Amino acid sequence: MEIIEGKAFIKGRLRKAAIGIEDGKIVAIKKVLYGKTRNYGNMLILPSGVDVHVHFREPGYEYKEDFSTGSKAALLAGITCVADMPNNKPAIITNEAFKEKLRKIKGKSYVDYALYAGLTENLVKDANLYKLYMSGDNEIFVDYDLLEEMLKKIKSKDAILAVHAEDKDCIARKGKNLEEYERNSPVECEGKAIKRIIEANKRINAKLHICHVSSASNAKFLRKKKVSFGVTLHHIMFSYKSKFKKEAMGKVNPPLRSEEERKELFKMVMKGKVPLLESDHAPHLMREKEGFENAKAGMPGVDALLPIMLYFVKTGRISLKRLVKMVAENPARLLGINKGSIAVGKDADLVIVDLNDVKKVKPISKCGWSCYEGMNAVYPRHVWMRGNIVVEDGVVEEPMGERVK
């Protein structure tokens, strides 16, 4: 048994503890344990992050990112498990494509991973996470007339359906700048799609998760309905008035909202009134951000999510208890994986954090840029995954990620 000691976040609070680790699991938590011990002094021992929404671009778009580079960026930022989206090339909508993706990424990932399949009439049988795009702007789209039928299939598999909620009949992916782009895909389009999927699911009660909710009004509606949803870092940090080196760097779907919406959503996050945070890490090369109207939508973020939020803990903007729920406990619970908290029987996935060690965000993703560059952040000093030290003062061990879902 290996033992680590320090100020650990256990059952909602920090306390001095000795944590026993064996075969990748936490096997004991006591005031004192005897054996080979690593003492972290006054540094914090926290559960590592789980990001339920990334696009690592493999297969098909490896020139932007691949599973190796994306997962390494995640690991350096304290994320030890991700769920990767299916809008690859080919799209992950068949059993063959799903198996081929698993084959291609095996042995490459620095973090544990789950994979979504796209929701189509014929469910990918080996998947238990599915993604629905209600915006209809790619081939992973289900006609609204088939929604109830598909939700019944999700329910019968006891699977999870993640939803990109923007109504296809309402949005228009056009505009010469961020403000115009948002005006053509307003908050109301997100709300309309959310209400449509909830209404379709009313009698079925399949497991739903609404991705990247971009407005406080829609977040409040989902809280009232007790439906899982995620909020991204970029929707609480940036608005369509934010200044970027190139305006298209801020082009994302759903769009960045008004400064008033951003502030209100930011407050909800800081008060712990959203279930979870997700990065929606969607990297493109800078050359794909040339010319706003034709620029690709999406930005990198898995390498900034937890470090920036830890800085907000340091400055008192958010409590550690609320942050751990949103980046570890609730995401792990949503995916149904044995991670997300420091408890006996859980995977020993941990980050060691010194809140006084403030650094500036630098791009880690393969795409080479970040809208968060230069912002204050707290990166983990060490990262543990399944009982192994996989990051030690910026030095990364060999990839050992495994599929968990």
Contact 283, 298 (CB under 8 A): yes
Cβ burial of 210 (10 Å; 0-12, 13-18, 19+) is buried
Give me the amino acid identity at 301.
G
Other Cβ atoms closer than 10 A to 165: 29
* Three-class DSSP category at 242: coil
- The pair phi, psi for residue 7, each rounded to 5°, is -90, 100
126 dihedral zone (left: phi>0; alpha: psi -120 to 50; beta):
alpha
Q: Active-site residue 280, yes or no?
A: yes
Q: What is d(CA 174, CA 170) in angstroms, rounded to the nearest whole number?
A: 12
Give me the amino acid identity at 139.
E
Residue showing tokens 């192994």: 388
Q: What is d(CA 241, CA 258) in angstroms, rounded to the nearest whole number?
A: 7
Q: Which two tokens stand for residue 373?
A: 């560059």
Signed CA dihedral, 290, 212, 281, 152: sign only? negative
Signed CA dihedral, 254, 258, 262, 264: sign only? negative
Question: What does the DSSP assignment read for 80-102?
Answer: EEEEE-S--SS-S-SHHHHHHHH
Contact 17, 344 (CB under 8 A): no
Between the alpha carbon of residue 233 and those of residues 106, 119, 137, 245, the distances in Å are 29, 26, 23, 19
Q: Which one of the listed residues 51, 84, 280, 303 is annotated catalytic?
A: 280
Q: What is d(CA 79, CA 331) in angstroms, rounded to the nearest whole number?
A: 11
* Three-class DSSP category at 216: helix
Give me the amino acid identity at 286.
M
Active site residues: 280
